[in-house]
Structures are given as structure tokens and as C-alpha cells.
Amino acid sequence: MAKTIIDAHNVSKTFNPKTVPVHAVQNVHLHIEEGEFIALVGPSGSGKSTLLNMMGGLDEPTAGTVFIDGVEITKLSENKLIDFRLHNIGFVFQSFNLIPVLTAKENVGFVLQLQHMSKKEREKRVLNLLKEVGLEDKINSKPGELSGGQQQRVAVARALASKPKIILADEPTANLDSKAAANLLDIMAKLNKEEKITFLFSTHDQRVIKKARRVITLVDGKIDSDVEQSPT
């Protein structure tokens, strides 16, 4: 049996509980195992981002518990949580993923540096990662000099760098044209297949959804369906 990466129990999130309560996520149970490749879908406002943020320890659930690799992150202090994210979770956001003043190489190396990896090891790993996302010729470009798709690929490489348990991606392809989106998804799928990296990503894009092996649909903050599929 595969290792459990995420185990979320009865997770709810209510915004503005005192004034105009918004029940963004309600009583969600989520179980994710190592090596899964999951799309989180649902209409706008259904709570996808909120759920992802809670799984990644960026947001605190109003109720419920989240375990990541056996650690109850809902109990960690703020600084411990930041440290936990550094070592265990990779993030890819819709945009503003990269540090604008650093080159692609430096951006990917940054998290490794935060993990105190030696310079030599770092160089090697960064080059490998950028090669995997097909950007070996852009290592010294700053984010501003890269296309949106290239920036997202650097972000994936950066998310991978720290060898996280899981990569959480909130609409990583939302700002990309369909070709770049497909390319990014192919890279993610390849990493998932070859390196057993676990991915949980939210998306609106039908073509992206098709690449997933499991699709979780959220409606009004609740899981509406959770199905396995064979990717195309």
C-alpha cells in the first residue's frame, strides 16, 4: 500500500464568521497517497483555492485537522509551519511565483539555499531541475525575460527543488495559452510518472483535467465527486 501524503479530516473554512459568514469549504475529507496526480475542479468560488491553501498550511481551517506525511500541520506554530512548507510542500501559483530580481537558476536555488544545501550540490541539482522542465538554455534569465509558460516551468522546478512530499498548484495554467498549458502539464505528468512526485492542482481547463488520474470536484465547498480516470 502506498504511503499517505495528505490526510484531511472534516476540514471546514468559514470566512468572516462574525459578520457575513462565507462557508468556503465545508466538512471535507481528503486522502491523498504518494504518486497521485489529482485535479481539483469546480466552479468559480467553489472553494478550490481555499482548500489548497489549507492543505499547504497557508491558511488555517476553522475546523478539522490536516496531516501531511503524518504531521498534524494544523497544530504547528506559524514559524514552524513556514519551515514545514520549506521542506515538505512545493507551491506553484497562478502568477507571481518567482523572485523578480533573481535569475531562473537563482530562483530554483533559493529554496535549496534556505535548506542550507552546499553550493556545489545546489548547482548540480538546479541544472538538473531546469533541464527537466526544458529550460537549460534559460538558466540566467530573470523572470521578466521569460514567457508566462517558461516562468511557470521555472516555478515547477523551484517547487520540486526542495524534494517536497507534494506539489500544490493553484490554477498553474490559468495564465497560459493552450500550447504552453499542455506543455506544462506534460512536464508535470512526466515528473509524476518518472519521479513519483505527488501533484494536486486546481484548474478550470478541460484539457488539463483530462491529464489527471483522479478528479475531485468541489461544489459550494463540498466534495461533489471524487473519481479515478485514465488520462488522455
Partner 1 sequence: MLFQIAWRNIWRNASRSLVVISSIIIGIWAGIFILSFSWGLYKNNINESVYRQLSHIQIHHPTFGYEKDSKFTIQNTDAILKQFQSDGRIASVSARVIATGMITSPTTASGVNIYGIHPPSEITQIALNQSIKKGTYFESGKDNAILIGEKLAKKLKIKLKSKVVLTFTNVNTDIVSAAFRVGGIYRSKNSSLDEVNVYVPQNHLRELLELKPSESNEIAILIKDELQLEAIKNDCKTLVSNAKIEDWKELSPELSLIIESFNLYTYIISGLILLALTFGIINTMLMSVLERIRELGMLMAIGLNKRKIFIMIMLETMYLTVLGCPIGLLFGWLTVSVLGKIGINISMFSEGLASYGFSSMIYPELDQEKYIIIVTMCLVTAILSAIYPAYKALQLNPSEAIRKI
Ligand X SMILES: Nc1ncnc2c1ncn2[C@@H]1O[C@H](COP(=O)(O)OP(=O)(O)OP(=O)(O)O)[C@@H](O)[C@H]1O
Which chain residues interact with ligand X by CB under 6 A? 15-16, 22, 24, 42, 44-50
Of 127 and 174, CB closest to partner 1: 174
Binding partner of residue 217 among partner 1, Mg ion, ligand X, none, CB under 5 to 8 Å per kind? none
Distances (CA, A) of 111 to 32, 115, 174: 25, 6, 24
Q: How far is the CB of 94 from partner 1 (least distance, A)?
A: 6
Residue among 114, 127, 139, 189 that touches partner 1 (CB under 8 A): 114
Q: Applying CB under 8 A, which of residues 42, 56, 61, 149 lies at the interface with partner 1?
A: 56
Residue that is written with C-alpha cell 531541475 in the block: 129
Among 58, 127, 139, 182, binds partner 1 (CB under 8 A): 58
* Closest by Cα among 121, 117, 156, 120 to 135: 156
Beta strands in the chain (DSSP E): 4-15, 22-33, 37-41, 63-68, 71-72, 89-92, 166-170, 198-202, 214-219, 222-228
**Footprint on residues 45-64 left by Mg ion (CB under 5 A):** 49
127 sits near partner 1 (criterion: CB under 8 A): no
Cα 181 to Cα 90, 119, 175, distances in angstroms: 19, 33, 9
Q: C-beta of 182: minimal distance to partner 1 in Å? A: 22
Least distance CB 48 / ligand X (angstroms) = 4
| Residue 222 CA from chain centroid, whole number | 20
For residues 53 and 107, which CB has a smaller minimum distance to ligand X in the complex? 53
Binding segment (CB under 8 A) for partner 1, from list 25-33, 109-117, 186-194, 204-212: 109-117
Q: At what angle do helices 104-114 and 148-161 cross, to 10 degrees?
A: 20
Closest distance of CB 40 from ligand X, Å: 8
| Residue 46 interacting entry, from partner 1, ligand X, Mg ion, none, C-beta within 5 to 8 Å by type | ligand X
Residue 3's Cα: distance from chain center in Å? 18
79 binds partner 1 per the rule CB under 8 A: yes
Rounded Cα gap, residues 51 and 59, in angstroms: 9
Least CB distance to ligand X at residue 88 (A): 22
The CB-side HSE value for 132 (13 A sphere, CA atoms) comes to 25
Applying CB under 5 A, which residues contact Mg ion?
49
